[in-house]
């Protein structure tokens, strides 16, 4: 890729990270986020444990790694943000960079709200006893979110969440104030500390009763599950979103690399570390799930034991957890009608293992329940939320970089405005927009943003990215660039995936996603304030105006792709017409923007 001569000075003066380790940690920190800790384990649990790993690895090899390598290579070669990179490949592709920038901005809005929730729980982790000890669900839905009964009831701004959100954006700004220089310093802590905490949690969790049941459930293969097409769809989208592809952040980070750098090795390291982290984080989570499942199963059986003891006048202590099954079979044979009239609970360990809490529920309900059972629970709570804080913060670096770098590369910021001031302005605007998540209905809106911004738009952006490189710029020219940067030409694996396999998989995943979503009528779980222990009691349909916003969030980022292409095409026609009729000697300069 040939760089313009008038851009050479800017490229040469572009800031760099301190060293290679810092760069890799930055990319790993961006890719490894909360999704590794809660969404991947949730999908494993949903699809019966180990069987999910098979389509996940296939998606990593044929979809994730090729796209990751491509983004790191393209950013490193051109040393620009997403808008500049795709505009350089073709003026008609400038909208792809704008779309990535918009997705990064929208995702950053709700991602930092999760960081605000983490700060709220972190502050409360120093109390003794922990404030959620008596009712984990109530503390989350009422004390923290103060949720309204439905999305149509907005509620008021929750002042404690507003303060936590302001604190979260201040922390992000302080870490980002000087750009890649300060991010590089902070990343040493934010990218490495989660592994230390996960290891401590794993060692401690393995001592809990029922830990082995959780591990067996995780690594047991249910081959029948692979016949479900939804498994393959979720595996493909998970590896895609987990690696943070199409956000523009990876392109921005790699643009600070020297051009003579082995980006292929970087892609393999980042991709494999990210997937290893997902599996590694799943082990303590499934161990805790096994512990909670055993505890719930024992509580269920103890309730039945008490009921049977009272109904049949059996001596206290005769029926135990160890002989409960034998007693139940005996009583079913001797007096089945009486047993049936007692309406005993169905106690099944496998059923409790399959009960899942996804998304925010996994962090703020499941883990907080487990922490209560541990000795020195305040210490474990602090460690856990510091880990989540690091995961969120390092991912926020990538989201903000995906917004700032393209804007700065476009030179739309007046030179008299310091970069620190512009960064602060972006953070302030983001904070103001994100106040919607601090309303009583804020959690409903956060789920909408998470579901619709971080799905279809990313698939579309990635598809246009790989098509632009393989068929617009030309795969042979791209191979020449990589050979110049790394010293060797991409092998047949990279060639086949860039040319055929990855575009085909992206197209299939997109079509399947649209088909599956079109068959469903969007619903959400509403909070019933009459329930303390099981608050998400009502399943409601989105109102039409909310569904319209959902569609808008899916379309808004990617609409920039055809709009910019159309704008450039009209500029071409205008220039061509004026040149042909010699109406203006400066006609070629019309519409000559960075896009």
Lowest mean pLDDT among 183-187, 229-233, 463-467, 494-498: 183-187
To the question of whether residue 289 is assigned a binding role by annotation, the answer is no
To the question of whether residue 274 is assigned a binding role by annotation, the answer is yes
Q: 3-class SS at 526? A: strand
Percent of the chain residues topping a pLDDT of 70: 89
To the question of whether residue 394 is assigned a binding role by annotation, the answer is no
pLDDT at 6 over 70: no
Mean pLDDT for the chain overall: 84
* The predicted structure's pLDDT at residue 156: 92
Question: How many Å apart are CA 14 and CA 8, to the nearest integer?
Answer: 10
To the question of whether residue 29 is assigned a binding role by annotation, the answer is yes
SS (H, E, C) 138-204: HHHHHHHCCCCCCCCCCCCCCHHHHHHHHHHHHHHHHHHCCCHHHHHHHHHHHHHHHHHHHHHHHHH
* The predicted structure's pLDDT at residue 503: 95
Name, in order, each residue with C-beta under 8 angstroms of 78's C-beta and a sequence gap of 6 or more: 1, 3, 84, 85, 88, 255
Lowest mean pLDDT among 135-144, 240-249, 358-367: 358-367
pLDDT band at 571 (very low <50, low <70, confident <90, very high): confident
Averaged pLDDT, 16-37? 75
* The predicted structure's pLDDT at residue 361: 62
Averaged pLDDT, 324-329? 88
pLDDT band at 588 (very low <50, low <70, confident <90, very high): very low
Could you report the per-residue pLDDT of 169-225, keeping only the tens digit for each? 999 998 887 655 656 666 777 778 888 888 888 888 888 888 888 888 888 888 888
* The predicted structure's pLDDT at residue 179: 56
* The predicted structure's pLDDT at residue 167: 97
To the question of whether residue 391 is assigned a binding role by annotation, the answer is yes
Lowest mean pLDDT among 302-316, 348-362, 392-406: 348-362
Which pairs with CB-CB distance under 8 Å and at least 24 residues apart come from 225-231?
A: 225/47, 225/48, 225/51, 225/52, 226/51, 226/54, 226/55, 228/47, 229/512, 230/516, 231/47, 231/51, 231/52, 231/55
* The predicted structure's pLDDT at residue 466: 94
Q: Are 42 and 359 in contact (CB under 8 A)?
A: yes
Lowest mean pLDDT among 254-268, 401-415, 526-540, 548-562: 526-540
Averaged pLDDT, 102-107? 94
To the question of whether residue 395 is assigned a binding role by annotation, the answer is yes
Place of tokens 């804080």: 389
* The predicted structure's pLDDT at residue 529: 60
Lowest mean pLDDT among 17-31, 337-351, 414-428: 17-31
User: Which region, left, alpha or beta, applies to residue 314 given φ > 0 means left and ψ of -120 to 50 means alpha?
Assistant: beta
Higher pLDDT, 143 or 177: 143
Question: How many Å apart are CA 245 and CA 222, to the nearest integer?
Answer: 30
To the question of whether residue 36 is assigned a binding role by annotation, the answer is yes
Q: 3-class SS at 137? A: helix
pLDDT at 525 over 50: yes
pLDDT at 9 over 50: no
Question: How many Å apart are CA 106 and CA 557, to the nearest integer?
Answer: 9
Question: How many Å apart are CA 213 and CA 175, to the nearest integer?
Answer: 42
Q: Which of 50-54, 243-247, 481-485 has the highest mean pLDDT?
A: 481-485
Q: Which domains does the chain have, with CATH numbers?
A: 15-309+348-513+546-579 (1.20.1740.10)
Question: How many Å apart are CA 400 and CA 576, to the nearest integer?
Answer: 39
* The predicted structure's pLDDT at residue 182: 59
Higher pLDDT, 587 or 475: 475
* The predicted structure's pLDDT at residue 584: 52
* The predicted structure's pLDDT at residue 353: 82
């Amino acid at each position: 890729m040939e760089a313009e001569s008038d851009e050479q000075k800017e490229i040469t003066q572009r800031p760099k990270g301190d060293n290679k380790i810092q760069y890799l940690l930055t990319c790993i920190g961006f890719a490894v986020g909360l999704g590794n800790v809660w969404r991947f384990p949730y999908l494993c649990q949903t699809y019966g444990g180990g069987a999910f790993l098979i389509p996940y690895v296939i998606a990593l090899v044929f979809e994730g790694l090729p796209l990751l390598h491509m983004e790191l290579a393209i950013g490193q070669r051109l040393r620009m943000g997403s808008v500049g990179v795709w505009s350089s490949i073709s003026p008609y592709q400038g909208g792809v960079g704008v779309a990535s920038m918009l997705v990064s901005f929208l995702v950053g809005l709700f991602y930092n709200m999760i960081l605000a929730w983490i700060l709220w729980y972190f502050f409360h982790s120093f109390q003794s006893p922990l404030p959620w000890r008596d009712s984990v669900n109530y503390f989350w839905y009422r004390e923290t979110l103060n949720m309204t009964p439905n999305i149509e009831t907005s509620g008021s701004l929750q002042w404690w969440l507003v303060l936590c959100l302001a604190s979260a954006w201040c922390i992000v700004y302080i870490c980002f104030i000087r750009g890649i220089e300060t991010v590089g310093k902070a990343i040493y802590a934010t990218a490495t500390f989660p592994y230390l905490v996960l290891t401590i949690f794993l060692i401690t969790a393995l001592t809990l009763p029922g830990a082995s049941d959780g591990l067996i459930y995780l690594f047991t293969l249910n081959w029948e599950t692979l016949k479900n097409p939804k498994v393959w769809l979720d595996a493909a989208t998970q590896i895609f979103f987990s690696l943070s592809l199409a956000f523009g952040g990876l392109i921005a980070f790699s643009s600070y690399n020297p051009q003579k750098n082995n980006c292929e090795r970087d892609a393999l390291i980042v991709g494999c570390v990210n997937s290893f982290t997902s599996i590694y984080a799943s082990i303590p989570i499934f161990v805790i799930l096994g512990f909670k499942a055993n505890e719930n199963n024992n509580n269920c059986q103890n309730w039945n034991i008490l009921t049977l003891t009272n109904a049949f006048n059996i001596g206290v202590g005769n029926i135990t957890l160890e002989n409960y099954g034998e007693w139940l079979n005996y009583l079913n044979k001797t007096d089945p009608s009486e047993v049936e009239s007692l309406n005993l609970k169905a106690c099944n360990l496998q059923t409790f293992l399959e009960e899942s809490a996804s998304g925010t529920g996994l962090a703020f309900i499941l883990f907080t329940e487990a922490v209560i059972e541990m000795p020195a629970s305040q210490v474990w709570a602090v460690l856990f939320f510091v880990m989540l804080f690091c995961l969120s913060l390092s991912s926020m670096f990538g989201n903000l970089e995906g917004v700032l770098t393209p804007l700065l590369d476009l030179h739309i910021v007046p030179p008299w405005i310091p970069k620190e001031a512009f960064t602060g302005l972006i953070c302030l605007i983001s904070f103001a927009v994100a106040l919607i998540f601090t309303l009583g209905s804020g959690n409903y809106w956060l789920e909408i943003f998470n579901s619709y911004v971080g799905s279809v738009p990313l698939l579309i952006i990635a598809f246009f990215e790989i098509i632009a490189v393989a068929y617009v710029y030309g795969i042979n020219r791209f191979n020449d660039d990589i050979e110049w940067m790394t010293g060797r030409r991409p092998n047949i694996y990279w060639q086949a995936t860039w040319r055929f396999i990855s575009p085909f998989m992206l197209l299939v995943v997109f079509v399947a996603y649209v088909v599956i979503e079109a068959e469903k009528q969007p619903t959400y779980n509403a909070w019933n304030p009459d329930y303390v222990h099981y608050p998400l009691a009502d399943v409601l349909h989105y109102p039409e105006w909310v569904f319209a916003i959902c569609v808008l969030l899916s379309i808004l980022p990617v609409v920039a792709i055809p709009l910019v292409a159309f704008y450039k095409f009209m500029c071409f026609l205008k220039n061509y017409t004026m040149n042909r009729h010699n109406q203006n000697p400066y006609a070629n300069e019309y519409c000559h923007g960075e896009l």
